[in-house]
Amino acid sequence: MTARGDFIEVFGGVFEHSPFIAERVYDEGLIFVPMTAKGLHDAMVSVFRRASREERLSVLRAHPDLAGRLAIAGELTEDSRQEQAGAGLDRLNAAEHARFTELNAAYTGKFGFPFIIAVKGLDKSDILAAFETRIHNSADEEFETAAAQVEKIARLRLVTLLPENPK
């Protein structure tokens, strides 16, 4: 495997099912030594923000519903599974699951992509409150909010893979 292939294998999933971000970072020479979570995040966010609106939308659409069908079927990426479990979304009672299902359908119907929130440090009540607030946003406002959450999720994933600061 090439250095490019190794890089994409490790970092291609930082932006959910969107390896084109890592590919462009590599191809544009945006990797600096020593590689840090902050430095790589800055590079990846730069690529994400310069992507076309349709490409950014594809990144948003690559995210799973919270406590949705993929979670139930055990088909989430390992990162998403751990993130949702950390927020208790794998332990919802029937009424909570029904509420998430209802909100997921309404949100996706309105915006065309799933509700995205960086769940680390949040619990199910925090997530539901954000869901119930954000569903009233305009389409443009929510696109930007969801994109910012994707960037935050990427940062949280990168800090598990790389040091924060060089030694």
Task: Report pLDDT digits (tens) over 1-26.
Answer: 579 999 999 999 999 999 999 999 99
d(CA 50, CA 18): 14
Average pLDDT over residues 85-91: 76
pLDDT band at 166 (very low <50, low <70, confident <90, very high): low
Q: Which of 17, 63, 97, 136 is catalytic?
A: 63
pTM (predicted TM-score): 0.88
Q: Is 97 a catalytic residue?
A: no
In eight-state DSSP terms, residue 110 is H
- CA-nearest of 58, 64, 59, 62 to 90 is 64
The predicted structure's pLDDT at residue 73? 47
Does residue 34 have a cis bond before it (omega within 30 degrees)? yes
Domains of the chain, by residue range, sit at 3-57, 64-135
Query: Which of the pair, 72 or 141, is modelled with greater confidence?
Result: 141
Would the pLDDT of 90 be above 60? yes
Strand boundaries in 12-83, DSSP class E? none
Has domain 64-135 been given CATH number 1.10.3330.10?
yes
C-alpha torsion angle, residues 122, 53, 107, 21 (rounded to 10)? -40
